Amino acid sequence: MFTWLAYFWQRMRGSLWFVPSIMTSAAAFLAIVTGWLDDADADYGAFATVLFHGGPEATRTLLSTVAGSMITVAGVSYSITMVAMSLASSQLGPRLLRNFRRDRSNQVVLGSFIATFLFCLMALWTGTAGVYGASLSASIALLMATGSLFLLIYFIHHIALSMQADYIIDEVAQELRASLALAFPEQQQEHTQAFDGSAREWAVVAARSNGYLQSIDEAGLVRVARKHEVRLVVLRRPGHFLMESAPLVKVLGCVSVPDDLSRRIQRAFIIGGRRTADQDAEQGVHQLVEIAVRALSPSINDPFTATTCVDRLSGVLGQVADRPAQSAIGCDTDGQARVRFERTDFSGIVSTAFDQIRQSSTGVPAVAIRLIEACARIAERSSIPARRELLAHQARMVMVGCSGSLQDEDLAVLRDRYAKLLEGLDLAGSVRAPAPRPGG
C-alpha cells in the first residue's frame, strides 16, 4: 500500500492541476466563510478599522476588478509556461517536461492566480458588506491580489531562470543524486542467512501488461513469500520494459503458482507507460545524457552544455563510487532470505552515463578531454579496484574513439590527460594508451 501511495503522490506531484486545484478549493471554502460572516453582520471589533469600508457597491466593483485582472494574469502565465516548456522540449529534450510540471513554484504561482479569481467570484455570490460597513471578503481579496502581484514578479524571474540549461541540468542532477543514494546506500542491511537459489521445483509469474516497470513493493513481496513459504527471484528491475506474459518472478518451491499467490505477486509491481525516477536510478542518468547528446548534435553544436552534463554526472557518480550497491536480498523479520531482487550495478550506471556521450564526442576535443577528467575524478573517490579499472577502460575508449578524428595538438592534450589518469590510478604499467590510428 505504501508503494502505491508513493506512486500516486509522485503522479499528483508531477501534474500542473493538483496543487492549483487544492488552492482553488480552499479559496472557495474561504469565500463562503467570509461571505457568511459579512452577511451575518459580524462585529470584527478592533480588526474592523483595517478592513475595507467602501460599502456594498464599492465592494462589488473591487471584487469584479480583481477577478477580471486575475483571470487575465492566469491566462498569460499559463501561456508563458507553455512557451517555456516548448523551448525546453525542442532544445533539451521532451522528457524534461516532467521537471517543469513538477516544479512546485510554478504550481503554487498558477494556483494562486486561479484561487484569487474564484475567491472573488464566490465572494460576489455569497455576500459583500454588513451593516458595519466593513467587508472581510473585499479585504482578503485585496491581500490575495497583492500577494499574487509579488508572485507574478517572482514567476517571471523563475521562468527566465528555469529556461537556462545550467539550471535544468542542476535540477536533474539533484534528483539523480537522491536516486543514486537509494541504489548505493551508505548503510547496508545485514543478512543472517544467504539466499538459496537452488530448487528442484519452481514456476514463473508473468507480467500482466506491456509497459515500463516503475516501482516494486519489495516489503510486500517479502511478506507474501513468508506467508506462502516460498522463495522469490525477481527477474526484472525498475526501468526495464516488460511485454505482457513475459517472465517477471520465479517462484521457488512449487510446481505451479496458485492464482491467489500470482495475483499478490503481480500487485507488487507497478507498470506504466513511461520510466520514472522513483526506483530507477538510470532514469536521471538518461536525462542528463539526452541533454548532452542533443547538445552535441550538428543542429545545436553546444559543447558547453555537454561538458556541464559530464561534470554533473561525475559529481553524482563520485558520490557513490566507493559505496556497494543496494543489497539484492530481501529478508523477513526472522532474518530468513525470502526474495532476491535484480539491482543496478555501478558498471551499468557508468556505461549508461558515458557510452553515448563518448560516441557522440569523437570529433569534439573539449568534451572528450572532459570525459577523461571526469573518469579521473570519479576514480579518485573509489577504493574498489574493479571500479577504478572500469573507469580507466572508459577513458581508454575515449582515446580509441578520438585517435583518428582529432588534430595532433588536441590529441596530445588528450593523451596527457589520459596519462595523468593512469598515473593517479597506478595503472601506468598495466594499461597502455592506445596508439593513434593511421592518419590520426
| Domain ranges, ordered by start, for the chain | 2-163
45 has a pLDDT exceeding 70? no
Q: Which of 316-330, 388-402, 422-436 has the lowest mean pLDDT?
A: 422-436
* Spatial contact of 56 and 129, defined as CB atoms under 8 Å apart: yes
| DSSP state letter for 405 | T
Higher pLDDT pick, 98 / 6:
98
Please give the angle made by the CA atoms of 387, 393 and 397, to the nearest 5 degrees: 145
Fill in the amino acid letter for 256.
Answer: S
Q: Name the H helices within 361-407.
A: 365-380, 385-402
153 has a pLDDT exceeding 90? yes
Banded model confidence at residue 348, pLDDT cuts 50, 70, 90:
very high
Residue 298, CA distances (Å) to 359, 360, 363, 369, 388 in order: 14, 10, 11, 19, 33
What is the per-residue pLDDT across 405-424, written as a single tens digit (0 to 9) for each?
Answer: 888 888 899 999 999 998 88
Q: Which of 48-62, 321-335, 360-374, 378-392 has the lowest mean pLDDT?
A: 48-62
What is the per-residue pLDDT across 95-136, written as a single tens digit (0 to 9) for each?
Answer: 777 777 788 888 999 999 999 999 999 888 876 555 444 578
Residue range 310-333: mean pLDDT, rounded: 92
Give the contacts of 239 (CB within 8 A, at least 6 positions apart). Answer: 212, 213, 275, 280, 282, 283, 344
Residue range 81-107: mean pLDDT, rounded: 81
| pLDDT of the residue at 102 | 80
| pLDDT of the residue at 162 | 83
Q: What pTM was computed for the model?
A: 0.82
* Spatial contact of 309 and 289, defined as CB atoms under 8 Å apart: yes
| pLDDT of the residue at 431 | 43
Fill in the amino acid letter for 260.
Answer: D
181 has a pLDDT exceeding 70? yes
Higher pLDDT pick, 13 / 31:
31
Q: Could you tell me which residues are beta bridge partners of residue 330? A: 339
Residue range 333-356: mean pLDDT, rounded: 91
In percent, the amount of the chain with pLDDT more than 90 equals 47
Residue range 301-330: mean pLDDT, rounded: 93
Residue range 201-211: mean pLDDT, rounded: 90
Q: Could you tell me which residues are beta bridge partners of residue 251? A: 203, 232
| pLDDT of the residue at 440 | 38
From CA 378, how far away is CA 374, in angstroms rounded?
A: 6
| pLDDT of the residue at 191 | 58
Residue range 196-225: mean pLDDT, rounded: 88
In percent, the amount of the chain with pLDDT more than 70 equals 90
388 has a pLDDT exceeding 70? yes
Cβ neighbour number for residue 326 with a 10 Å cutoff: 16
Q: Which of 43-52, 236-245, 278-287, 308-317 has the lowest mean pLDDT?
A: 43-52
| pLDDT of the residue at 193 | 66
Sheet harboring 269-272: ordered strands across?
241-242, 211-216, 269-272
